Amino acid sequence: MFDLGAQELIVILIVAFLVFGPKRLPELGRTLGKGIRELKAAMRNVKDSIEESDLNISKEIKDIKDDLSASVYKTIEPEVAEKPGSKAGDKSDTTPTDKKEKAESDKDG
């Protein structure tokens, strides 16, 4: 995390020993340990809540995608369905633009 080696940790412990003394050093270590433990628990809670909201958002996106797909299919379905009077095996390759071009060519000659 801080990229401290053994020599740096020894220097820090010696300075802490000189500043706080031998009586307060264990108490300081316990307090520091409790603080780190609480910080880890808080970070875990934040991580869990982010993951939970991510799952909720993913579910909502999937639901919206499904609804949109169903809506698009319902809109396109009448155009795709066979028209009355057309043959079951009849597959017309003409599109509206092809029909328009054919009509214009018929007018020209």
What contacts 23, CB < 8 A, 6 or more positions away? Answer: none
Q: What is the pLDDT along the chain (109 residues), one digit of tens a residue?
A: 567 788 998 898 889 888 888 888 889 889 989 999 999 999 999 999 998 888 888 889 999 999 998 888 888 877 766 555 555 445 455 555 666 666 666 665 5
Whole-number Å distance between alpha carbons of 52 and 70: 27
Q: What is this structure's pTM?
A: 0.45
Reduced to 3 states, what is the DSSP secondary structure of residue 7? helix
Enumerate the domain spans of the chain.
6-81
